[in-house]
Amino acid sequence: MKNIRALIIAALSWICFAAPAQATLHIDITKGNAEPLPIALPDLAGSGVGMEIMQVVSADLERSGLFRPIAKQAFIEQIDAQTVTPRFSDWRQINAAALITGVAETNGGKLHVAFRLWDVYGEEQMVGKEYNTFENNWRRIAHIMADEIYKRLTGESGYFDSRIVYVAESGPDIKRVKRLAIMDQDGENHKFLTDGRFLVLTPRFSPNSQEILYMSYAGRQPRVYLRDLQTGREESLGVFEGMSFAPRFSHDGGSIVMSIAEGGSTQIYKMDLKSRHLIRLTSGSGTIDTSPSYSPDGAQIVFNSDRGGSQQLYVMNADGGNIHRISFGDGRYGTPVWSPRADLIAFTKMSGGRFYIGVMRPDGSGERLLTESYLDEGPSWSPNGRVIIFHREFPTSHGKAGPTRLYTVDITGSNLREVITPMDASDPAWSPLLPL
């Protein structure tokens, strides 16, 4: 975490170059299965790190499913440090719609990067950016560049400069080891946060990406912990009669919601993180209310409950009032999470012996199922609300639980991709964009 924090604070700056006010190149992402935009991504001129930067940029953009990087062997013009304006006819000849040019220079451990995004057919510059930081931050600069390109060509914020925390699993079923792990959204810079002595579940990021909540069996009973990613300091958020679990931060990070099991029922509570004052939000004898998630404005909470006889989704005001059911399809619903754009709620659905990841509007309308498998569970949103990450469990030939892997899927239901991890993985959570 210390390396991440030092990343931009030390020396990152960005300067906009002059660019035409009217640029027409644009990807329409409102339609499912949009045709990927062909884009030329030559290595940045200057030092060797320019090639590494563009490899990461290319991988980010290609993985989104919205871009098709053109093979370098097809390039006619060779971009170098002296290139001011590219020969657009050369790039049109290989069907490039967009082009990146730029430089990457290193000096005494410092890194200077400047790049331009060009509309090849419009023959005009769309974006110009410049960055200064430490040389070992080159990978994050690449993610930031990819975000800029994505934003300019789609009209939406990017999601590449972000991280994923998840539960790394190893060992036999009867003695499963579960550790917290964190990595960049592309699987790089992977590291473990806990040593595996105690089982951990459901990690969740704070709005500033600097802290996580999770449930741990470190004490005599499972309870919620708070961990500072920079210092590694962690603390229990209360000891109760029963277990506490399924935590999530409020929209401003000042409080959390979680479930506490006591007296034969499970209810949702809100805790102020400064005062540790606890307020019960739900009630009911013998009911299980869990998996709460705030709306982006903090005004409402979605959760799942069996209060109606089967596990369904409900929405309530942030103070616990106006509880109403929003899921009415076949089967059971769980693990709801509100999109950062506020327009959708993602969920896990269980029906007919199959598991699905789906989305619906906050009023319950417009339900769409995006994935289906033996076991898909635990959705979490990308920072821009465009992509969902979840974990998938595969059955063995004997019908028992098998490997678990992380996958992403676009909200259109297209572009299903595995996120590579060094071992089995579950319970993913996607961070907001990292602070600069």
Is residue 431 within 8 A of residue 162, CB to CB? The reply is yes
Nearest to 406 by CA among 388, 419, 395, 387: 419
pLDDT confidence of residue 389: 98
pLDDT confidence of residue 436: 84
- The yes-or-no verdict on residue 9 having pLDDT over 50 is no
pLDDT confidence of residue 7: 41
3-state secondary structure of 391: strand
> What average pLDDT does this structure show over 197-215?
96
Q: What percent of the chain has pLDDT over 70?
A: 93
pLDDT confidence of residue 401: 66
- The yes-or-no verdict on residue 204 having pLDDT over 50 is yes
3-state secondary structure of 29: coil
pLDDT confidence of residue 13: 40
What would the pLDDT profile of 215-272 be if each residue is shown by its tens digit? 999 977 899 999 999 999 999 999 898 999 999 999 999 999 999 999 899 999 999 9
pLDDT confidence of residue 318: 97
Give the mean pLDDT of the chain.
92
> What average pLDDT does this structure show over 288-300?
98
The rounded distance, in Å, linking the Cα atoms of 355 and 334 is 11
The rounded distance, in Å, linking the Cα atoms of 216 and 410 is 31
Give 118's strand partners. Answer: 99, 125
Q: pLDDT tier at 15 (50, 70, 90 boundaries)?
A: very low
The rounded distance, in Å, linking the Cα atoms of 55 and 142 is 8
- The yes-or-no verdict on residue 175 having pLDDT over 90 is no
What would the pLDDT profile of 93-117 be if each residue is shown by its tens digit? 999 999 999 999 999 999 999 999 9
CA atoms 123, 129, 134, 139: torsion sign:
negative
pLDDT confidence of residue 19: 41
- Based on the number of CB atoms within 10 Å of its own CB, is 409 exposed (0-12), middle (13-18) or buried (19 or more)? buried
Q: What residues contact 275, with CB distance under 8 A and at least 6 apart?
A: none
Q: What residues contact 226, with CB distance under 8 A and at least 6 apart?
A: 211, 212, 213, 234, 235, 237, 273
The rounded distance, in Å, linking the Cα atoms of 436 and 416 is 30
pLDDT confidence of residue 212: 98
SS3 string, 36-88, reads CEEEECCCCEECCHHHHHHHHHHHHHHHCCCEEECCHHHCCCCCCCCCCCCCH
Tokens 């990461």 belong to which residue? 56
- The yes-or-no verdict on residue 6 having pLDDT over 50 is no
What would the pLDDT profile of 24-36 be if each residue is shown by its tens digit? 788 877 766 678 9
Tokens 């709620």 belong to which residue? 345
What would the pLDDT profile of 384-417 be if each residue is shown by its tens digit? 999 999 999 998 877 666 899 999 999 999 999 9
> What average pLDDT does this structure show over 313-329?
97
pTM of the predicted protein model: 0.92
pLDDT confidence of residue 399: 61
